[in-house]
Amino acid sequence: GENVEQHPSTLSVQEGDSAVIKCTYSDSASNYFPWYKQELGKGPQLIIDIRSNVGEKKDQRIAVTLNKTAKHFSLHITETQPEDSAVYFCAARQAGTALIFGKGTTLSVSS
Amino acid sequence: NAGVTQTPKFQVLKTGQSMTLQCAQDMNHNSMYWYRQDPGMGLRLIYYSASEGTTDKGEVPNGYNVSRLNKREFSLRLESAAPSQTSVYFCASSVEAGVANEQFFGPGTRLTVL
């Protein structure tokens, strides 16, 4: 079955710096790659997603890139702000129904 | 709209006790899911219901049962709780399973089994 590896597990940056979180997946049939943000005490919330027919997608300060050949995808956050501090999860969808999540990255942005 | 609601927010059980976690959504979604979240383990799917009347096992179904009561409600039952089931449980819903639909998560239930 699908396996999603996520790195790093923790990431600390200064306000205004960029942050990059990387994920690899194992199932070449996976075709949908969402990113979720989880704030303390809340459920995860979708922030951006990408499909396998697209290489890059941007939404204001966040962007996701996908390399199908290498089977990895990354989340890029530019001009980080304290409110970006949260746990971020990547996920991949197998051919089927289940989303498989990575183990999460705790991002801390200090001002 | 309330989105996805879960009750209770917190629960402490003794080993061997049973309980049911409740979940409801008001977005007219067809698919609903139960996940557990443990430190360093991410989110793992316990059970899901692609549509009313159907349920399927996820990655970690042992020790749990589910009921899709109607289109709105999806409950998770622990028949005989064990300390290994101490976790935060999240319910989620989406328009449909099997396609690239956003999953909307509830606020979670924090369960401790002593």
Q: What is the mean pLDDT of residues A49-77?
A: 94
Indicate the pLDDT class of residue A52, thresholds 50, 70 and 90.
Answer: confident
**Residues of chain B predicted below pLDDT 70:** 97-99
**Mean pLDDT along residues A31-47:** 95
Residue type, B89: Y
Residue of A nearest to B46 (CA): A98
The answer for B 53-112 residues in CB contact with A (under 8 A) is 56, 58-59, 90, 92, 97-98, 100, 102-103, 105-108
CA A97 to chain centre: 19
Which chain B residue has the Cα nearest residue A89?
Answer: B42
Residue A1, pLDDT score? 79
Give the helix ranges, DSSP H, for A1-111.
Answer: none
* Residue B83 φ/ψ, nearest 5 degrees: -55, -30
Q: pLDDT tens for residues B78-104?
A: 999 999 999 999 999 998 766 677 899
Q: Judge: A43–B42 Cβ closer than 8 Å, yes or no.
A: no
| Residue in the structure block whose two tokens are 């001002």 | A111
The pLDDT value recorded for residue B26 is 96
Give the full edge-to-edge strand order of the sheet including A62-67: A4-7, A19-25, A72-77, A62-67, A56-59
* Alpha-carbon B68 to chain mean position: 11
Q: Do A44 and B90 touch (CB under 8 A)?
A: yes
Task: Report the residue from B31, B56, B90 with minimal CB separation from A43.
Answer: B90
pLDDT of res. B98: 64
pLDDT band at A95 (very low <50, low <70, confident <90, very high): low
Q: pLDDT at position A29, please? A: 87
